[in-house]
Amino acid sequence: MTSRAHGWRLGLIAIASMLMMLMAPVFVSTTGVSAQADPATQFSTAISQLPAMAPVAGPLSGSLDAANADSAPAGVSVTNGVAHADFIVPAVNPGGLWAIAMMFRVSEAGQNFLLVFPDGTWQLDNGVPGGAISGTGATFDTTPGANVSLDVVFDGATGSFGINGVFVAGLDLSAVQGAGDVQLTGYLGLGAGVPTLDYTNFTVYDFAGGTAAPTETTGGQTDVPTAAVPTTTGGTTGTPGDPESTFNELLALEMTQPMVFGPASGAMIHDPERITFEPTGVSVTDFGAHIQCTAPRSAAELWDCGLAFRDTSSTNHFRLGVVSDGSWFLSVGSGSPLQNGRGIPIPPNAGDKITLDLIVQGNTGYFGVDGVFVSDLDLTQIPGPGTVAAVVGFFDETYIPGGQTTYEDFYVSSFDSSTQTPPMPSETAVVGLPTQAPTVQVPPVESTPTPQSGAGETPVIGLPSPTPPVVETTPITQAGANSYTSPTFGYQLTWDDTWSVVTESSQDSFDVLRLSNGVVTADIYSGFSTMGLEECVTSLVSYYQGHESYTNIAIQPFPDGREIVVEGNVAVATLTFDYDAGSGAGPVPTIDTVLCVAMPTQSALVTMENYIPADQYDAQIGSVRTLESQLVVDGMPVAIPSVVTGGGQVAVPTEITGGVEPTVATSETTVSVPTVTAGSSTAFVVSPVGGGTVSGIGTIEGQARSVNLQVILVGAQPGSAVGIARGTCAELATVLDPDYFVGESSETGVVQGSAPVSITVLQSRGPYSVVVYGPGEGAPMVACGEIVAG
């Protein structure tokens, strides 16, 4: 594994899209071998001397896991010298952020860090807060597969660097002049689409004939130090040693791999007839999965919790379960156990928690409970890839009538070079049911996940959240009461016995209720928002346009020709689309009746959507309108516009077609449909605040209604919190909590997570900033970086 030097700093990194004030470097004369009157002469003289010099390290070649702060050390101790490396231009996705970098004079005292971006901008972090310098002119061929050479000369207080043998700029190295190692590194941001940054001919020369630094490991090729071997990101069949050691090693390595799902929290509702699956929506071959389950009753009464994985949308998927009597099993589907055992310590009381960790590498799995290794697993029957889900209710004895098992910190990290969006499963689902409730909150937030579960069983949908584990565990509705009160905003809904609750949740001031009558599914969700009523509808259109499962999205006009009707604090509309569950049955024409209600005294919106299979519209619309009429907001029944109550329904086409971006015809100002492009990304830097030294670089990648964020922090204590907050860094200086929590920094400074807000909102409705707080409750802000407006 490639090592990282203790005290490694990434520094304040220049981003091509940001206008930065360039600081003129200061150069002083030195007495080293290559000291010259000016940087250009210093560079050319030093490079010309290299053929006559013997390297103290290299040439080395390898690959960097540049998405996770990987570095490749030369293993030397050099004060003045030259370092050379050839990088291979990666095939990044359009717009993906990446960079090549070199660190030199790396020691406990600090280091110099030079980073070069493909647009020719560069930056040097010399270890002094606020002392970073940057410039332009470091251009090179960015064609994938092209070679780009980086040469750095460091001699006393001055230095210089060049690209492909051509001088670019001088460097002020006065802050860090002591002896140290030379290391290669780089950066591949979220959305880059490639896992590694490859390099060759990594060579270091010492003007004074320096010495090699001691290495912690030995072996490998004699001309390539073991420490320069990069972290493995692809799947493997295990590492040498006993299974317990391998589990522990892979569990540590998992923290450096990209998180492709979570961390999520929620509740899995027990079903009397079938197993409950909580899907992740990601398909992986080699991965790590982690979940913490809360005991729904005492261990003696029996309960279970587990994982399903390598689900191939058929009966072929693994099930790994733990039962509160201390037993565990591995099976394929509902078949007899392939492996099982006993003796796992289980806490005795309801409300106690256990954590499950599963690491899958090729044909072998490694399984642990509460961080303690339990067993290795033979996974040869299903090679993968397949989806991953949390599971409860494996046995009749562990089913709890009316019960639920809450979970938190559920995440999946991928050891694969790439992950896939899975097909939908073969289980029975509500026909035409859109699987995610679109955005109403500004910033928008995620609600119900895409059903994905074991084959042959109807999924019982829990409600994971990409936000911190703040879960409403006490049912908001009362059994048999047929009523609901929003815990955050107080609106109410009642229904007759034809409807039943599928799931409900209240997390981070976002309340969700899902009902079903067996044909129609109704989603009622709310959140703080500054959206107008028309935008509430058009944001749904944008959301569906951003998901490939939905096609032919259109707004159907009411009889008077209007598509969005606004009266008072209420807007109504009817969307149509074809929904493809990926089951092979083809798309299902679906009618979505939309009701948006403003709650101005609370600066919030509540939205009701009713998903009706088009061929059932005439039979079900009466039941839907009755349900809508039972919504009470701010103590008053919602006054639904007369175009609906007067019998004016949309003319439902026999076959839903279209997909042309709809226009909005209302009595208010027309609002164009906003564009929300899934997969768009932006970069940011965080700078020290309050006299601190924490800095870093990161990428935000947009999904349809959320963002994934990755940041690499330097100088941050483990456990430092990263989030997103509305405001400039100056405005947020005394704010102690972000609007959206993303995650906590690891020992390596890497933070990955998601936030329930669209990238469009972050760029257009800001300003928004990425904020970093020290570890612990109430810790002050230590770094901040503003998100550039789109």
Mean pLDDT of 640-644: 80
696 neighbors 714 (Cβ within 8 angstroms)? yes
Residue 510 is predicted with a pLDDT of 74
Handedness of CA 653, 450, 632, 541 (dihedral sign): negative
Q: Is the pLDDT assigned to residue 707 strictly greater than 70?
A: yes
pLDDT of residue 748: 58
Lowest mean pLDDT among 402-416, 457-471, 604-618, 642-656: 457-471
Summarize the confidence of residues 305-327 as an average pLDDT. 85
| Beta carbons within 10 angstroms of residue 580's beta carbon | 17
* Spatial separation of the C-alpha atoms in residues 624 and 63, rounded to whole Å: 58
With 0.85 as the threshold, say if the pTM is over it: no
Which of the two residues, 749 and 82, has the higher pLDDT score? 82
Report pLDDT for 37. Answer: 52
Q: How far is the C-alpha of 519 from the C-alpha of 430, rounded, in Å?
A: 7
- Provide the pLDDT confidence category of residue 85 given band limits of 50, 70 and 90: very high
pLDDT of residue 205: 92
Within this chain, domains 39-228 and 423-454+470-675 share the same CATH topology: no
**Nearest-angstrom CA–CA distance, 291 and 356:** 5
Least confident of 255-259, 352-356, 476-480, 676-680: 676-680
Across the range 62-80, mean pLDDT stands at 79
- C-alpha 428/C-alpha 460 separation (Å) is 11
Higher pLDDT, 539 or 202: 202
According to CATH, the topology of domain 253-414 is: Jelly Rolls (2.60.120)
Percent of the chain with pLDDT over 90: 18
- Domain residue ranges of the chain, discontinuous segments joined by +: 39-228, 253-414, 423-454+470-675, 681-786
**Nearest Cα residue to 346 out of 322, 368, 365, 329:** 322
- Tell which residue, 308, 307, 305, 309, has the closest CA to residue 286: 309
What tokens were used for 411?
């995440």
State how far the Cα of 290 lies from the Cα of 528, in Å rounded to an integer: 31
Q: What distance in Å separates the CA atoms of residue 206 and residue 678, rounded to the nearest whole number?
A: 49
39-228, which class in CATH?
Answer: mainly beta
Residues 6+ apart with CB under 8 A from 221: none
Q: Which two tokens stand for residue 81?
A: 């010298």
**What is the distance between the alpha carbons of residues 241 and 573, in angstroms, rounded to a whole number?**
62
Range of lowest pLDDT (158-162, 175-179, 302-306, 317-321): 175-179
Q: How confident is the model at residue 421 (pLDDT cuts 50, 70, 90)?
A: very low
Integer-rounded Cα radius of gyration of the chain: 29
At residue 229, does pLDDT exceed 60?
A: no
Rounded Cα–Cα distance for residues 252 and 466 (Å): 22
C-alpha of 602 from chain center? 30
Q: Output the pLDDT for position 667.
A: 30
Q: Which two tokens stand for residue 538?
A: 């058009």
CA–CA separation, 355 and 410 (whole Å): 10
Percent of the chain that is helix, strand, coil (3-state, to 5): 10, 40, 50
User: Residue 207: pLDDT above 80?
Assistant: yes
More confident residue, 649 or 436: 649
CB-CB contact of 101 with 124 (8 Å): no
Question: What's residue 428's pLDDT?
Answer: 28
Burial of 181 (0-12, 13-18, 19+ CB in 10 A): buried
pLDDT in tens, 27-40: 233 333 333 458 88
Q: Mean per-residue pLDDT for 734-742?
A: 82
Q: Higher pLDDT residue, 787 or 748?
A: 787
Phi–psi pair at 641, nearest 5 degrees: -50, 145
Tokens of 493: 């809904």
Between CA 266 and CA 262 the distance in angstroms is: 11
Fold for the domain defined by 423-454+470-675: Protein Transport Mog1p; Chain A (3.40.1000)
H helices of 630-758, where? 642-645
The whole-angstrom separation of Cα 498 and Cα 636 is 24
Q: Which of the four pLDDT bands, split at 50, 70 and 90, describes residue 360? A: very high
Q: Each residue of 121-139: b (16+ CB within 10 Å) or e?
A: bbbbbbbebeebbbbeebb
- Whether 317 has a pLDDT exceeding 90, the answer reads no
**CA-angle at 246, arms to 243 and 249, nearest 5°:** 155
Q: Which of 204-218, 234-248, 333-347, 554-568 has the lowest mean pLDDT?
A: 204-218
Query: What's the full length of the chain, in residues?
Result: 790
Topology annotation, domain 681-786 = Immunoglobulin-like (2.60.40)
The predicted model gives 322-351 an average pLDDT of 87
Distances (CA, A) of 470 to 276, 375, 463, 662, 724: 21, 32, 12, 38, 17
In 3-state terms, what secondary structure has residue 537?
A: helix
Cβ(706)–Cβ(757) below 8 Å: yes
pLDDT for the residue 584: 73
Helix (H) or strand (E) holding 220: none
| pLDDT interval class at 762 (50, 70, 90) | confident
CA distance 205 to 321: 56
Which 8-state DSSP code applies to residue 124? E
What pLDDT shows up at residue 148? 92
> Is residue 307's pLDDT more than 90?
yes
Mean pLDDT, the chain, integer? 73
Q: Is the pLDDT of residue 469 over 50?
A: no
Average pLDDT of the segment spanning 455-474: 30
Kindly report the CA angle at 175 between 174 and 181, in degrees rounded to 5?
Answer: 100
Q: Say yes or no to pLDDT of 248 above 70.
A: yes
Higher pLDDT among residues 408 and 342, named by residue: 408
Per-residue pLDDT of 106-124, as tens digits, reads 887 777 888 888 888 887 8
SS3 778: coil
- Ranked by mean pLDDT, the top range of 9-13, 333-337, 472-476 is 333-337
**Type of residue at 605:** L
Given a cut of 70, whether residue 519 has pLDDT beyond it is yes
- How far apart (Å, rounded) are the C-alpha atoms in residues 700 and 681? 5
Instruction: Please name the amino acid found at residue 364.
Output: T
Q: Which residue has the tokens 């005290």?
A: 7
Could you list the beta-strand ranges (E) of 31-77: 57-64, 71-73, 76-77
